[in-house]
Amino acid sequence: MRRSRPSRFTPTSMASASRQELLTSMINGWRLPSVVPAVLEIVEREPLASAGGFGGDLLRGLMEVPGSFWSQHPRLFARYRAAVRAGALARRALPPGLRSEFWNPLAVDDEDMQPDPAA
């Protein structure tokens, strides 16, 4: 998994952050207390929502969040578990080729990234 520089958005701009920025933050473990709830809102509405890689890449990004985060946020973990179940059901309805895309490697695009001034 490729790691990149911190993203340019701040915790106060999660609503305006792109899906790619949210995915990048999850993969890299940045701003998880702000990013995870924003992503959960998306995947609760659309379990196989995409950040541009493949259907369900946002849910896969949630799977990259460390267990230590989930143990500190049990309510978010309950929502995450429900999202994983919903994603599994949604994938079952897909043709086999598309179903297996869910396990593709997650990609992070550096084009929209720049150094975090707060770092």
Name which residue leads in pLDDT, 51 or 14.
51
% of the chain surpassing 90 pLDDT: 65
Interval 55-71: pLDDT, tens: 999 999 999 999 999 99
Q: Is the pLDDT of residue 9 over 70?
A: no
Q: Given this model, what pLDDT does residue 14 score?
A: 63
- Mean pLDDT calculated for residue range 14-38: 91
pTM, two decimals, is: 0.78
% of the chain surpassing 70 pLDDT: 76
- Sign of the alpha-carbon torsion through 70, 73, 74, 76: negative
Interacting residues of 57 by C-beta distance below 8 A, sequence separation 6+: 23, 50, 51, 104, 106
Give the span between the Cα atoms of 92 and 103, in whole angstroms.
14
